[in-house]
Amino acid sequence: MTSARRLQSGGLVDRSRRIRFKFNGRDYFGHPGDTLASALLAQGVRLFGRSFKYHRRRGVVGAGAEEPNALVQVGEGAYSTPNLKATQVELYDGLTARTVNGWPSLAFDIGAINNRLSRLLPAGFYYKTFMWPKSAWMRYEHHIRHAAGLGRTPSLPDPDQYDKRHAHCDVLVVGAGPTGLIAALGAARSGARVMMVDEQSQLGGSLLSAPAVIGGQAGLDWAGEVEAELRALPEVTILSRSTVTGYYDHNFLSVNERRTDHLGPAQSDTPGSRERLWRIRAKQVVLATGAIERPLVFDGNDTPGVMLASAVSTYIHRYAVAPGRSGVVFTNNDSGYQAAIDMSNAGMEVRAVVDVRMTAGADVAKTVADMGIPVYLGYVVPSVQSGLQGLKRIEMAKLSADGRAILSHKGLVDCQVLAVSGGWSPVVHLHSQSGGRPCYRESQACFVPGTSVQDERSAGACAGSFSLAACLQEGADAGVSAAAQSGWPGGYVDIPVAVERDEAPLQPLWEVPAGALAGDRVKKFLDFQNDTTASDIRLAAREGYRSIEHVKRYTALGFGTDQGKLGNINGLAILAETLGKSPGEVGTTTFRPNYTPVTFGTVAGRALGEQLFDPVRKTAIHAWHVRRGAMFENVGQWKRPWFYPREGEEMHAAVNRECLATRSSVGVLDASTLGKIDIRGPDASRFLNLLYTNNWDNLQPGRCRYGFMLGEDGMVMDDGVTTCIASDHYLMTTTTGGAAAVMSWMERWLQTEWPELKVYLTSVTDHWSVMSVAGPNARAVIKTAGCDRNLDAEAFPFMSMQSGEVAGIPARISRISFSGESAFEISVDANQGLALWEAIMTAGRDYDITPYGTEAMHVLRAEKGYVIVGQDTDGSVTPVDLGMDWIVSKKKDFIGKRSLSRSDTDRPNRKQLVGLKTQDPSRVLPEGAQLVNTPQAERPVPMVGHVSSSYYSAHLGHSIALALVKGGLSRMGGTIYAHLMDGSVVPATICSPIFFDPENERTKS
């Protein structure tokens, strides 16, 4: 294997070192500095891929982000990455790459039959067929799906890491070509904090691709000096291999930095991230993003060997690769001539420059003439001829003065490379994303940035200034003024001299008329990846799809992974001609982020996995639960013990055991996760009166009260027990999941509606460890653990709180019960939580104290008919619906009160909370089961309610359920039917939701 096309000298590749890689299973080599595309071109490879729809052979067209054809799957196994552009993949040892389309092989692709059938497959053909028979679409679609798609998703999880950094800067310069470099320098010398972001592996931009002289020295040498000065400045950050992918509101920009891909996956074992997402807030932005050359539109313009003229120059200058033995240039502007000069200097035989115009710029014309290259003015290339490996020869023909017809056939010219230039499209993407509206500049036939909406300005080629001298001038001005506007007025830079060429203007030619050799399958491509042709655009317009957005969507123009960087301008210009409008009137489609694709992993960053997707909250006693073998339940962000299975014990056995132990002796629950809000201030009780449905005026210090909080819509939002610690000091508990929302809710009312109330809130959820010791022996256990308070019922009644010590630990002890047992809730400093828990467990040993989890807690509370907000309520339930009218004050106002008297909220037949007993006592209804009045019914079946909580009560010896049933409170003793998912119908009897100890004798004891 030799590098047949590698030049002997020049370029930015290190010929002293070989890098071996595989492409489609074959071995190749390249050099440091190569991209996959340049190395393959160097070895004579011309066929890079197949197109999406017609599976036509495609070669490399560009040399960067604009490449639509050369898409590859790079790497193996977990490191396999789909859809990379070969023009952007830097070589590393052992790289493997495959083309993404083409089956069974790239050279012989069965899908190419579509090319033969292409007349049946115009734009939008799929909207017109595949409709018969009605059931068959899924079959058609199956085949379409398998034919579509590009690369493959890796089959293994990604071993790499990604991270994010936040940065603020005074001036962000996007692009490090001559414009960006001088802008950064001008800005940085002011002392401003400057960031410069560039997508290439080294700075220089267009200077990497073309010879240039700046200030009397080689362009890259000048760039090197600027870079050195910038790097020496402490406030300057330079990011290479980094792309500004999105420009968002308030000058926020996202940058994708690719940190290790050029090293290969072997390096990924070293610590650090593969890619980084920079989130940058810039005071001022300088866009120096350059321009992208556009292809010319003629029959067969997608043939391998037809390349952008600038790409040809890039391969020659940067990579020292001559992409063929012989070449022709086809252009409508002066810049295309450079490719002829470069090809000739690289030893290629340049057989012609075909120029649409009647006049070329004097300087380039002279240079080319001096080199002996024939120039054909007023000529075009209407078609090409190709073999299996791509371009063989081109047709040359004389164009009519109006550009609409071929006057005469000139003949065929053999060549392997056709370098095309249709002019340049400024990269206005980021300007557009920032809110600017690009406008059409007739003289250059391109869209340039419009009025700035955010603090940004465009300079150089991306602003339509294509000469090097203009780029340097504009870049310097932009950098200095951006720094000044960001508060750093001292920037300066001398503008070095650059040679100005005598240029003749571009002559737009959006479509080359078909030539003498045109067959009946003329195809002039606009979007190479999606196979959108010029005739597709006209068909769309003919059928009424005339907005550029309609045309785009109907023809798929610009929907490829290159996002229309090459072809959109040609498409909209052809649409404009078809509609008799100017391109400016047609306008562009919206430029959306990302400028180039960004790895999902990068966007996600570190926010993944068990630890970091969402923070895990654990109680101070968590480690004990783990040692005890608890199964956990996610409740909000918390991990709560769900149940504690003994060896070999399944869930229901464990829950039954935990419930029975609590009812018969004593159980203990880690209740630390309940939200806790410390409320202080002279107006605290007034505030509670507004928040809760019941009255708080008469709660004495040391007493506790249960309350419902409603939304202003009257629906139950949260509940909990609040304790009066002093007349101006309360401790509120909330549900575990609702804690943060309730805190915000209270703060908001205080700050925005009732700022006159003197109330101060502190979230103390994490400050306290709380355990509920419940059961007939609870009191005895606490006494055994050691407590300095008299725990007897008379001295320490239900719903009261006392401060004291338990097991020598200062504690708040409350007689609160969610289990229906005689219970003590003990709160201690979270740091002491585990110590107290262990002390209680030790003290309870003789009583067979049993830790119980959330499931047993649910059963115990359901036996008592206590609701869980969010399970037995769903945002459409009032306290009245729950049968708790007694908790709703008629006298005072509170949040949500007025909503309770609305006609629908006040109506009698609403869904109301009831209990259910299945007629087969062992049958436990599924939670969520729908309830129906009759055992049989036609669908749709009228549903009258649903089961919200349902358990087997080991203590009662039968199943119990809570349900919301239409008019349920007036249906006690009636029968209702659960129609289950498995088709069975389970009868149940409506009963009171309180199944156990309705007189509260236990809780009070």
Partner 1 sequence: MRKDRYSIFSLARNAVSYHQDWSEAWRSPEPAPSYDVIVVGGGGHGLATAYYLAAEHNVGRIAVLEKGWIGGGNTGRNTTIVRSNYLWDEAAHLYEKSLKIWEGLSQELNFNVMFSQRGVMNLGHTLQDMRDIYRRSNANRLNGIDSEILTPAEIKAKVPAMNVSSEARYPVLGASFQPRGGVARHDAVAWGFARAADARGVDIIQNCEVTGIRREKGAVCGVETSRGYISAKKVAVVVAGHASVLADMAELRLPVESHPLQALVSEPLKPVLDTVIMSNAVHGYVSQSDKGELVIGAGIDAYTGYGQRGSFSIIEGNVAAIVELFPIFSRVRMLRQWGGIVDVCPDACPIISKTPVSGLYFNCGWGTGGFKATPGSGWVFAHTVARDEPHELNAAFDLDRFTTGALIDEHGAAGVAH
Partner 2 sequence: MLQIECPWCGARDQEEFQYGGEAHIVRPENPDSLTDAHWADYLFNRTNVKGVHAEQWCHAAGCRRWFNVLRDTMSYKILAAYRPGEQPPGSEE
* The entry of partner 1, partner 2, none that residue 994 binds, CB within 5 to 8 Å by partner kind: none
**Which pair of structure tokens corresponds to residue 559?**
């929907």
Which stretches within 219-285 are classed as H helix?
219-232
What is the sign, positive or negative, of the torsion defined by CA atoms of 314, 320, 323, 324?
A: positive
**Pattern 739-778, binding to partner 2, x per CB under 8 A?**
-----x--xx--xxx-x-----------------------
Q: Which does 403 bind (CB under 5 to 8 A by kind): partner 2, partner 1, none?
A: none
Residue type, 533: T
Residue 543 lies near partner 1 (rule: CB under 8 A)? yes
> Is 635 among the residues that bind partner 1 (CB under 8 A)?
yes
- Least gap, CB of 903 to partner 2 (angstroms): 7
Helix (H) or strand (E) holding 107: none
Nearer to partner 2, 665 or 763 (CB): 763
Q: Which partner in partner 1, partner 2, none is near 385 (CB below 5 to 8 A by kind)? A: none
With respect to partner 2, which residue has the nearer C-beta, 213 or 761? 761
453 counts as binding partner 2 under rule CB under 8 A: yes
Cβ-contact 35, 319 below 8 angstroms: yes
Q: What is the distance between the alpha carbons of residues 885 and 906, in angstroms, rounded to a whole number?
A: 12
DSSP reduced 3-state for 634: strand
CB 821 within 8 A of CB 662: yes
**Residue with Cβ nearer partner 2 (70 or 285):** 285
Helices 548-555, 534-542: inter-axial angle, 10-degree rounding: 120
Tokens of residue 205, six digits = 């931009």
Among 490, 682, 797, 875, binds partner 1 (CB under 8 A): 875
Helix axes 534-542, 568-579, angle to 10 degrees: 40
Residue 321 or 925: which CB sits closer to partner 1? Answer: 925
Q: Under the criterion CB under 8 A, does residue 281 sit at the interface with partner 2? A: yes
**452 near partner 1, judged by CB under 8 A:** no
Examine residue 138 and tell whether it contacts partner 1 (CB under 8 A): yes
Q: How far apart are the first and last CA of the chain?
A: 93
- Tokens 């790499």 belong to 160
The interface partner of residue 547, options being partner 2, partner 1, none and the CB cut-off 5 to 8 Å by kind, is partner 1
Q: How far is the CB of 980 from partner 1 (least distance, A)?
A: 7
Block residue for tokens 């960053």: 605
- The reply to whether omega before 508 is within 30° of 0 (cis) is no
Q: How far is the CB of 907 from partner 2 (least distance, A)?
A: 13
| 824/817 Cα distance (integer angstroms) | 7
Q: What is the DSSP letter of 597?
A: -
126 binds partner 1 (CB under 8 A): yes
How far from chain centre, in Å, is Cα 639? 27
Q: For residues 974-1003, which are near partner 1 according to CB under 8 A?
A: 979-981
Does residue 460 interact with partner 1 by CB under 8 A?
no
CB 279 within 8 A of CB 254: yes
The least CB distance from residue 127 to partner 1, in Å, is 5
| x-or-dash string of contact with partner 1, 889-908, rule CB under 8 A | ----------x--xxxx---
Q: What, of partner 1, partner 2, none, does residue 228 touch, CB below 5 to 8 Å by kind?
A: none
Interface residue with partner 1, options 201, 240, 345, 547 (CB under 8 A)? 547
How many residues bind partner 1 (CB under 8 A)? The answer is 108
748 contact, one of partner 2, partner 1, none, CB 5-8 Å limit per kind? partner 2
Nearest to partner 2 of 249, 610 (CB atom): 249
Contacts of 608 (CB under 8 A, 6+ apart): none
Binding residue for partner 1 (CB under 8 A) from 131, 218, 371, 497? 131
Q: How far apart are CA 647 and CA 623, in angstroms?
A: 19
Considering only residues 291 to 350 of the shown chain, the ones binding partner 2 according to CB under 8 A are none
Helix (H) or strand (E) holding 963: strand 958-966
Q: Closest Cα to residue 770, out of 742, 728, 806?
A: 806
> Both tokens of residue 902?
């609305």
- Specify whether the CB–CB gap between 526 and 425 falls below 8 A: no
Binding status of residue 563 toward partner 1 by CB under 8 A: yes
User: How many whole angstroms separate alpha carbon 507 and alpha carbon 914?
Assistant: 82
CB within 8 A of 227, min separation 6: which ones? 176, 181, 203, 238
Contact 313, 321 (CB under 8 A): no
| Residues in 158-217 at the binding interface with partner 1, rule: CB under 8 A | 158, 160, 162
Q: Which is nearer to partner 1, 480 or 857 (CB)?
A: 857
Residue 891 within binding range of partner 2, rule CB under 8 A: no
Write the interaction track for partner 1 spanning residues 793-832; mark x where CB under 8 A is met and - where it is not. Answer: ----------------------------------------
Q: Does 856 bind partner 1 (CB under 8 A)?
A: no
Stretch that binds partner 1, among 247-255, 375-383, 395-403, 668-676 (CB under 8 A): 247-255
Buried residues in 271-287 as b, exposed as e (16+ CB within 10 A): eebbbbbbebebbbbbb
Distances (CA, A) of 637 to 618, 625, 640, 739, 771: 9, 17, 10, 11, 19
Figure out which of the listed residues 8, 135, 698, 903 binds partner 2, where binding follows CB under 8 A: 903
Contacts with 623 (C-beta within 8 Å, 6 or more apart), sequence order:
834
81 binds partner 1 (CB under 8 A): yes
Least distance (Å) from partner 2 to the CB of residue 434?
11
Q: Which of 93, 221, 728, 927 binds partner 1 (CB under 8 A)?
A: 927
Nearer to partner 2 by Cβ, of 394 and 690: the residue is: 690
> Which range in 15-23, 373-381, 594-602, 690-698 contacts partner 1 by CB under 8 A?
594-602
Contact 634, 613 (CB under 8 A): no
Give the other-Cβ count within 10 Å of 794's Cβ. 6
143 binds partner 2 (CB under 8 A): no
Residue 744 contact, options partner 1, partner 2, none, Cβ 5-8 Å cut-off depending on partner type = partner 2
Q: Is 83 in the site for partner 1 (CB under 8 A)?
A: yes
User: Residue 293 Cβ, how far from partner 2 at the closest point, in Å?
Assistant: 33
Of the candidate residues 167, 469, 579, 603, the single one contacting partner 1 (CB under 8 A): 603
Minimum distance between the CB of residue 281 and partner 2, rounded to whole angstroms? 6
Count CB atoms within 10 A of the CB of residue 140.
13
Cα 805 to Cα 760, 779, 783, 792: the distances in Å are 27, 14, 11, 16
- Provide the CA 434 distance to its chain's centre, in angstroms: 19
State which H helix or E strand residue 342 sits in: helix 335-345
* Interface map 679-718 toward partner 2 (x if CB under 8 A): ---------------------------------xx-----
Nearer to partner 2, 443 or 903 (CB): 903
User: Which tokens in the block code for residue 565?
Assistant: 């960087």
Site for partner 1 in 11-70 (CB under 8 A): 52
Distance between CA atoms of 294 and 568, rounded to whole angstroms? 9
- Nearest to partner 1 of 138, 232 (CB atom): 138
The footprint of partner 2 on residues 246-265 (CB under 8 A) is 248-252
Which residues are at the interface with partner 2 (CB under 8 A)? 248-252, 281, 435, 453, 712-713, 744, 747-748, 751-753, 755, 893, 897-899, 901-903
